[in-house]
């Protein structure tokens, strides 16, 4: 495995662990309060963390420019500013489903299946400005196995 692919794999696995941890923590908060309150807390803490990261990054690299316009000039498409909406919905919907009959493993399994289904479609059709890529046989097999695994997890829990 090339070095870049190896570090990207590790980062992707770490992102999955962080996402699962976030869902577990926010769902516990939602259990003791409400999904909406848990979402507000998560995004408030996330905002503070992002501000601290920006300040630390600017101090570490004061000469680095922050991208104020897209490469080649022009303007960013307006829809690009809506990236936080899926994150907010993820926190809210996961907080509801984890505390319901699906539980944590069922919620994560279906979230993974949904991410893979959307990923295959987004790659195939070039949604959200992504490069168009045809699905591979291995990718579709993996998707099918994740869907079957999700069904097994949910059926075994229920």
Question: Per-residue confidence of the chain (158 residues) as pLDDT tens digits?
Answer: 555 568 888 998 999 999 999 999 999 999 999 999 999 999 999 999 999 988 888 787 766 655 556 777 778 888 888 888 898 899 899 999 999 988 999 999 999 999 999 999 999 999 988 999 999 999 899 999 999 998 998 888 76
Token output for 98 = 């984890």
Contacts by 32-37, CB closer than 8 A, 24 or more apart: 35/92, 35/93, 35/95, 35/96, 35/99, 36/92
User: Rounded distance, CA 77 to CA 129, Å?
Assistant: 10
Token output for 93 = 């919907």
pLDDT reported for residue 38: 93
pLDDT reported for residue 125: 96
pLDDT reported for residue 82: 87
pLDDT reported for residue 22: 92
């Amino acid at each position: 495995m090339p070095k870049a692919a190896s570090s990207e794999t590790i980062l992707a696995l770490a992102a999955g662990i962080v996402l699962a941890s976030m869902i577990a923590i926010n769902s516990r908060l939602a259990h003791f309060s409400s999904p909406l309150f848990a979402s507000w807390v998560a995004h408030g803490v996330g905002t503070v963390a992002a501000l601290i990261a920006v300040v630390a990054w600017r101090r570490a690299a004061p000469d680095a420019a922050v991208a104020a316009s897209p490469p080649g000039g022009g303007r960013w498409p307006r829809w690009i500013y809506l990236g936080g909406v899926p994150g907010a919905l993820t926190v809210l919907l996961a907080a509801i489903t984890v505390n319901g009959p699906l539980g944590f493993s069922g919620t994560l399994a279906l979230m993974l299946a949904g991410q893979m289904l959307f990923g295959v479609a987004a790659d195939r059709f070039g949604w959200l400005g992504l490069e168009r890529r045809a699905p591979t046989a291995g990718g579709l097999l993996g998707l099918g196995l994740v869907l079957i695994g999700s069904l097994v997890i949910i059926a075994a829990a229920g």
